[in-house]
C-alpha cells in the first residue's frame, strides 16, 4: 500500500493496514508521497499479490503509474506473476480503469484483499 507521489494523506492507509494485520494478511505499507521509482522497485522486488494506490485528490491520482504497476511482472519465464491493482481514495472517483479494482471503502478493500488470499471475507459492523 502506498500513496501516489505528491499525496500526503495516509490516514486511510493506516486504517487499512491495521485491518489487514488483524486479519493476518501479509502487508507492507509505504505511506505518504512514495516516489515512483521506489514504488516500482518494491513491486518488482516483493512480488505482491496486490498493490493499493491511494489518491486523496484528482490532482494526485496518477493513472500512468497505476498502469505501470499493473503491468509489472516478476518470476521465472512461463510462471510470471503480476499484482492486482486497487485504486483507493476519492482522487480516483469517476475514473473507471479496466483491469483495476476500485473498492469504495474500507470494508470493501478488506473483503477484496481477503479474497485474493482465499481467506474468508471479514464481517465488519458499523
- Give residues with Cβ within 8 angstroms of 40, minimum separation 6: 68, 69, 72
**pLDDT tens, position by position, 74-91:** 777 776 788 999 999 999
**pLDDT tens, position by position, 20-63:** 999 999 999 998 999 999 999 999 889 899 999 999 999 999 99
Q: 95 falls in which pLDDT band (50, 70, 90)? A: low
Decide: helix, strand or coil at residue 84: strand
Measured CA to CA, the distance from residue 7 to residue 68 in angstroms comes to 18
What pLDDT sits at residue 118? Answer: 85
- Give residues with Cβ within 8 angstroms of 69, minimum separation 6: 39, 40, 43, 51, 53, 83, 85
Strand partners, 87: 53
Share of the chain above pLDDT 70, in %: 93
- What nine digits make up the cell of 10? 495516509
Amino acid at each position: 500500500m502506498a500513496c501516489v507521489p505528491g499525496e500526503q494523506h495516509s490516514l486511510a492507509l493506516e486504517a487499512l493496514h491495521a485491518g489487514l494485520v488483524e486479519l493476518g494478511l501479509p502487508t507492507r505499507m509505504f505511506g505518504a508521497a512514495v516516489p515512483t521509482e521506489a514504488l516500482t522497485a518494491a513491486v518488482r522486488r516483493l512480488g505482491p499479490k496486490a498493490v493499493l494506490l491511494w489518491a486523496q485528490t484528482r490532482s494526485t491520482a496518477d493513472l500512468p503509474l497505476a498502469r505501470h504497476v499493473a503491468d509489472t511482472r516478476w518470476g521465472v519465464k512461463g510462471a510470471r506473476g503480476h499484482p492486482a491493482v486497487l485504486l483507493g481514495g476519492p482522487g480516483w472517483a469517476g475514473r473507471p480503469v479496466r483491469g483495476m479494482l476500485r473498492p469504495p471503502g474500507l470494508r470493501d478493500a478488506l473483503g477484496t484483499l481477503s479474497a485474493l488470499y482465499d481467506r474468508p471475507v471479514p464481517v465488519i459492523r458499523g
